[in-house]
Amino acid sequence: MKKMIVFAILLGGIIACSGGNDKSKSNSKSATAIDGAKIYKSNCMLCHGDDGKLGLNNSKDLTVSKLTKEERIDIITNGKNTMVGFSSLLDEDEIKAVAEYTFTLK
């Protein structure tokens, strides 16, 4: 009888610990915040620098850019001059997040 009680308590504990908050793993990126800064640092910082001013390989100083969000999205997507496009590496939401992040580089 004692073994049965101990087993029931252990089983209840295992079930309680494993239940948790089971949110569907099918959450899209749009449902979670996309970190434009992180994407910028891993894809753009080499040429534009951490602060957007580096100008390596003739890249533009992002701190003085007058481009609209749509224009920035287009350049990030398709590239321009020596900059390659990122449409094959980043999805639409990630590109938008990077474009929005570039406005903070002032």
What digits encode the pLDDT tens for the residues 47-79?
999 999 999 999 999 999 999 999 999 999 999
pLDDT at 5: 61
What digits encode the pLDDT tens for the residues 13-52?
455 444 544 444 334 454 347 999 999 999 999 999 999 9
Question: Could you tell me the domains of the chain?
Answer: 33-106 (1.10.760.10)
CA dist 86 and 75 (Å) reads: 9
CA dist 67 and 103 (Å) reads: 10
Among residues 20, 14, 29, the alpha carbon closest in space to that of 92 is found at 29
